[in-house]
Structure 1
């Protein structure tokens, strides 16, 4: 369902049976909720001070080798929205999860 590099890849799927307005039942499959991992579940690679004009996807490409892995930086800083990290002068953690 998801690419192996996606944050949602390891999540289990579930099924919910719903009754439509016409009375017919249908199954809805969905991915279970993802929670942020504890900060202790990752290995700090480095800290980076955000400067003017930088973007999180570019930093992810530089340090993790893949711009789509920006979510790993978000997890390492316990934020849900990437924009929270894109603040000039902010020191952000770049980490890899424990395996």
Structure 2
């Protein structure tokens, strides 16, 4: 993953420059505008579609869940950001992110090639 240019990071600090910060799962999501009957424009984020599971197998590492781990712990260890847990949730077929670490001993996928990915666990 390419490092952000200095001007891109600076844009994140300007209110209204991006609807969501660069670390958000919605940063690259398309923003739509709905016009209400009275003419008021309402901005909304369009649906964020996930890449099909298993499509990037060569870019997926696995991790065996330990007792006491949480999705935010894994986000910190894998990506250096506890808020990046959503990248791991996107790589696994779970509805609730707590399912990722609910069963010690279970193997979960850790993304490398997913959008916004780039880290490897333990680096």
Shorter-chain TM band: 0.7 to 0.9
After superposition, the CA RMSD in angstroms is 1.8
Unpaired runs of 5+ in structure 1?
A: none
- Structure number with the higher strand fraction is 1
For residues 60-99 of structure 1, give each alpha carbon's deviation from its aligned partner in whole angstroms, at most 9, with x where no partner exists: 2112221111011011113342112122222111112356
How far apart in 2 are the matches of 1:82 and 1:4? 20
**Bigger radius of gyration among the two:** 1
Q: Is 1:16 aligned with 2:30?
A: no
Unpaired runs of 5+ in structure 2?
A: 1-18, 116-123
Given that 2:63 and 2:110 are in contact with CA atoms closer than 8 Å, whether structure 1 keeps it comes out as yes
The TM-score normalised by the length of structure 1 is: 0.81
Greater relative contact order structure (CA < 8 Å, 6+ sep): 1
